[in-house]
Structure 1
Amino acid sequence: MTSPTHTRARTLRPRGTAALAALLLAAAAGATAPAYAEAPAEHIEGTLPSGAKYVMDKPADWNGTVLLFSHGYRPVGSPLAAQNAPDDATKALLLEKGYALIGSSYATNGWAVTDAVPDQLATLDVFTERSGEARRTIAWGQSYGGLVTTSIAERHPGRIDGSLAMCGLVHGGVANWNNTLDPVFALKTLLAPGSSVQLTGFADQASAAAAAGTMGKTVTDAQATPEGRARIALAAALHNIPGWNDASQPEPAPDDWNAQQANQYQALQGMLSMPAFSWRQEAESRAGGNMSWNTGVDYTKMLRQSSVYKEVTELYKDAGLSLKKDLGALNRAPRISADPAAVDWMSRTSSFTGRLHKPQLTLHTTGDALVPVQVESAYRRAATAGGSAPLLRQAYVDNPGHCTFSPAEQTAALHTLEKRLTAGHWKGTDPASLNATAAAADPTTPARYIPYRPAPYPRPYDLAHPADRR
């Protein structure tokens, strides 16, 4: 194996407060002070043998903890770019507190879990070679990076002490692609029943883009009528898309069904433009075929479990439509079957056992349309069946959007996980304690943790339930 290439390395001059903190730590520890507390601050960028880029920031007063950050989904064609924190403000906050921050791009973009996990672990190896063994290693990540983080937690627990998955795809790959299929299947069946548009099995990106364009126009046209809006709301409900899912939208009143539906429409158009077609085609190319299905799915039952069921019933009533009739049409429509080999690949690479060996905290916003908060129910199900529920805690932030956490909220989650690692048991995971921890960590940004219990995830799939692997 060739050695990693360091493309840039520089020593930074520590701030006065950071240098003073390092001296105080050394004095308190006496002659046993670890070497990492005395090293100069460093910013390192380099390239792994796989071609993945990495970036590392180690402050002069390193506290001995390294945070291994996994970034979110990036479409094929995007530049490979290393990332070691969710945002610049949180990064600055953590560096000031003495954390070392590391992370990589992945050797490829797209559904790249088979690249992402080894690239992240290789980045950790490079850091250890340069700086010595960390006192504590925490894996954390956002969105698709939450899937990567949980994969590391389940499959490589010896490399880390704990993990934090934020707005993550903790339901796993098979569940994700199954439930991405449901809303587009409903849109095609109810809005364009005679259409020949493809929903899976794309030969290339051009065919996926053509299908996305056709469905996007169909949905745009339907939004102009009460009947179309009701059916769009039904499709959104199958994915649990909330009625307030973007901070740029005014928060609708609890019974303002039309405003809620308008917000869901925008989110569905976003799903059609990328995840449901383009991103699916890329994932299918890796899996070797279609990895999702809706054979045997009862859409009546799924709708009744949805977090927005009431909205759908009210919009159908206002439109003068029969919800029972439309659900019957969905349940009678010809179904889509999966390619078993593709399901096997997605299951082996991107689904979860529910068997944690080290503590994990997960964090989610309540108004996430891209990765709905109900995915947390799916991982809770897996961890319970896998026997590791005591190691798992889940926390919720009351905010619309995907991964829209404040620096205070993210830092509080990390500190809470650290408390668990130090104490050997969970404490301070209730919303009031999390908000207090957030306010202490960064009083300039919001703290919005709330008590919350997500609805069941509509299409759970994990390796802890034998029936899921049929």
Structure 2
Amino acid sequence: MLGYRTAIAALALGSALLASTAMAADAKHEEGTLPSGFPYQISMPGNWNGIVISDLDAVTNLKDPIPVDLLAKGYAYIGTGRHPERMTKHDPLTELDAQAAVIDLFAQKFGKAKHVIQYGCSGGGYVTLAMAEKHPDKINGAVAFNARGTGGMAVANTWLDLPFALKALLAPGSDLMVAPVPNSALPAAYDAWKAVMDKAQATPEGRARIALAVAVSQWPTWGSIEDTPAKPASDDLAALEKAMVKSASDGLANSVKRRQLYDNPAGLASWNSGIDYKAFYEKGADAQQKKIIAELYEKAGLGGKDAIEKDLDQIDAQPRIEGSRDGVNYWLKPGRLIGGDIKVPLLHIHGLGDALLPPHLSEGYAVAVKKEGHEDLYRRAFLQASGHCKTEVSEAEAAIQAMVDRLDTGKWGDTSADALNAMAKKAGTQMPRYVTYTFETPFNRAFYADSKHPF
């Protein structure tokens, strides 16, 4: 795929730019395909406020509520769609180049913006973190939701831990596929998993062990992907048990069906050789999860602490996965692996009930930023929200407004949960869900440039 400079040169000649009908009477909209194969779009409102929002998913999301509202309020909204070959040739470096190319194209057509803010969720959130590190000359600030932390390595390893622990506890010695799970093995590989999970969910012993796998893997107690179940009360053991089974089920389906995203470019991109899962539980599971699991084990008649330790030993006793040299090294390249060396202000937000990208991933990135000495540029926030990228319009606009204030004044204002909720209430009618939150434990699968790996 071509870099952004080549893309701009081609677009300047008009070889890839397509004009379309305006989105509205006073708005300009252009779309096309970059030479690298990325679709892109530029939407310029008639009442432009001088601020550009750049998004990896701007093509796909253009008609969604958040961009529609941003355009109505005078923000230009630009960016790309995901590359059509992303599931087999995923490369964040090309995604960064594509964002830079569209930002440059916008500047050529409309002049210099007051502020360019990189924005995105999930993969777009990762691109936002990476743009703050790798392309600070193209943007002034960054707002990332539900990002995948330091990169593909941390996610691939996290997506390995959950099915590995579940297999060890529910079906040791079976032929359930953990990693790799090639596309050719689907959907049969997941169907086999679903049968095992359905059987386990039908018994209190099975549900207790599913909850243990959730804690070992640092999945949220209350987690989902597509839907948004209500948060269980902290004293309702049955509801908490149900929530942890839901978190595991959604996380497992994703880990089995979508890990090819990380393995396809160069090979198996995760490993657990040398991992001590008992230590992961002791150091990484929070106190509430441990309390829930102790109660579930007792309720199921499995026993107390000794039974939990026996099951943790069962996980540690399983044959390990080493990954592949090419697969691991692919994700170690700077840009595919980021390290917290941000050079523009960054507001980093994560939903606490995300079962696709568990919120502990954000803790790994926060540590990276601190190591690099950039805490002055960095702020974090959390949403009491289940599901993946289920951000409300008002919540997104509060985050963007906080960033605009930071860029206008040169210093951070109040980015506490109360302050963000107050801004969100002014921006929309939904009840905002920002909450104060601090992780009790480190992210077990945090991965940095100097982290140990098998190759």
Does the Cα contact within 8 Å between 1:368 and 1:401 map onto a contact in 2?
yes
Find out whether 1:152 has 2:131 as its counterpart: yes
Among all aligned residue pairs of Structure 1 and Structure 2, give the percentage whose two residues are the same amino acid: 34
Question: Secondary structure in 2 aligned to 1:63?
Answer: coil
Question: Secondary structure in 1 aligned to 2:54?
Answer: strand
Does the Cα contact within 8 Å between 1:56 and 1:102 map onto a contact in 2?
yes
1:272 alignment partner AA:
L
Question: Paired residues, what number?
Answer: 430
Distance in 2 (alpha carbons) for counterparts of 1:97 and 1:248: 28
| Alignment of structure 1 residues 47-446 onto 2, 5 Å | 47-71=33-57, 82-83=59-60, 88-107=64-83, 108-110=85-87, 111-202=90-181, 204-246=182-224, 248-273=228-253, 275-286=254-265, 288-304=266-282, 305-307=284-286, 308-321=289-302, 322-348=307-333, 349-442=335-428, 444-446=429-431
Does the Cα contact within 8 Å between 2:399 and 2:420 map onto a contact in 1?
yes
Q: Deviations over 1:11-48 (max 9, x none)?
A: 5666xxxxxxxxxxxxxxxxxxxxxxxxx631112221
Does the Cα contact within 8 Å between 1:354 and 1:462 map onto a contact in 2?
no
Find out whether 1:43 has 2:29 as its counterpart: yes
Does the Cα contact within 8 Å between 1:291 and 1:346 map onto a contact in 2?
yes
Q: Deviations over 1:240-289 (max 9, x none)?
A: 3333335653432213233222233233333333x322322242120x22
Distance in 2 (alpha carbons) for counterparts of 1:101 and 1:300: 47
Distance in 2 (alpha carbons) for counterparts of 1:126 and 1:41: 17
In the TM superposition, residue 467 of structure 1 has moved relative to its aligned partner by 4.6
Distance in 2 (alpha carbons) for counterparts of 1:381 and 1:12: 42
Higher relative contact order (CA 8 A, sep 6+): 2
In the TM superposition, residue 64 of structure 1 has moved relative to its aligned partner by 1.3
Question: Secondary structure in 1 aligned to 2:219?
Answer: coil
Question: Secondary structure in 2 aligned to 1:381?
Answer: helix
Does the Cα contact within 8 Å between 1:139 and 1:163 map onto a contact in 2?
yes
Distance in 1 (alpha carbons) for counterparts of 2:299 and 2:17: 63
Does the Cα contact within 8 Å between 2:397 and 2:424 map onto a contact in 1?
yes
Q: Deviations over 1:144-191 (max 9, x none)?
A: 111111122111111111111111112421111111111111111111
Distance in 2 (alpha carbons) for counterparts of 1:127 and 1:175: 34
Distance 1:12-1:351 versus aligned 2 partners, 3 A rule: closer
1:231 alignment partner AA:
R
Q: Deviations over 1:434-461 (max 9, x none)?
A: 111111222x122222211124222110
Distance in 2 (alpha carbons) for counterparts of 1:165 and 1:403: 11
Q: Deviations over 1:389-442 (max 9, x none)?
A: 221100112222222221111101011111111222211111221111111222
Q: Taking structure 2 as the reference length, what is the TM-score of the superposition?
A: 0.88
Q: Which runs of 4+ in 1 moved over 6 A?
A: none
Does the Cα contact within 8 Å between 2:353 and 2:384 map onto a contact in 1?
yes
2:82 alignment partner AA:
Y
In the TM superposition, residue 355 of structure 1 has moved relative to its aligned partner by 0.5
Distance in 1 (alpha carbons) for counterparts of 2:251 and 2:419: 35
Does the Cα contact within 8 Å between 1:58 and 1:99 map onto a contact in 2?
yes
Does the Cα contact within 8 Å between 1:68 and 1:84 map onto a contact in 2?
no
Distance 1:315-1:105 versus aligned 2 partners, 3 A rule: same
Q: Deviations over 1:58-83 (max 9, x none)?
A: 11121111110123xxxxxxxxx823
Point out where structure 1 has 5 or more consecutive residues left out of the alignment: 15-39, 72-80
Point out where structure 2 has 5 or more consecutive residues left out of the alignment: 1-5
Find out whether 1:452 has 2:452 as its counterpart: no
Compute the RMSD of aligned alpha carbons. 2.2
Question: Secondary structure in 2 aligned to 1:364?
Answer: strand
Residue aligning to 2:18: 7
Distance 1:366-1:282 versus aligned 2 partners, 3 A rule: closer
Residue aligning to 1:32: none
In the TM superposition, residue 466 of structure 1 has moved relative to its aligned partner by 5.0
1:291 alignment partner AA:
A
Residue aligning to 1:77: none
Residue aligning to 2:448: 462
In the TM superposition, residue 300 of structure 1 has moved relative to its aligned partner by 1.8
Question: After alignment, is 243-252 or 401-410 more displaced?
Answer: 243-252
Question: Secondary structure in 1 aligned to 2:434?
Answer: coil
Residue aligning to 1:24: none
Distance 1:153-1:294 versus aligned 2 partners, 3 A rule: same
Distance in 2 (alpha carbons) for counterparts of 1:389 and 1:284: 33
Distance in 2 (alpha carbons) for counterparts of 1:169 and 1:268: 18
Distance 1:136-1:185 versus aligned 2 partners, 3 A rule: same
Distance 1:67-1:468 versus aligned 2 partners, 3 A rule: farther
In the TM superposition, residue 229 of structure 1 has moved relative to its aligned partner by 0.8
Question: Secondary structure in 2 aligned to 1:347?
Answer: coil
Does the Cα contact within 8 Å between 1:462 and 1:468 map onto a contact in 2?
no
1:332 alignment partner AA:
A
In the TM superposition, residue 201 of structure 1 has moved relative to its aligned partner by 3.1
Distance 1:359-1:102 versus aligned 2 partners, 3 A rule: same
Distance in 2 (alpha carbons) for counterparts of 1:354 and 1:391: 11
Distance in 2 (alpha carbons) for counterparts of 1:251 and 1:135: 40
1:109 alignment partner AA:
R
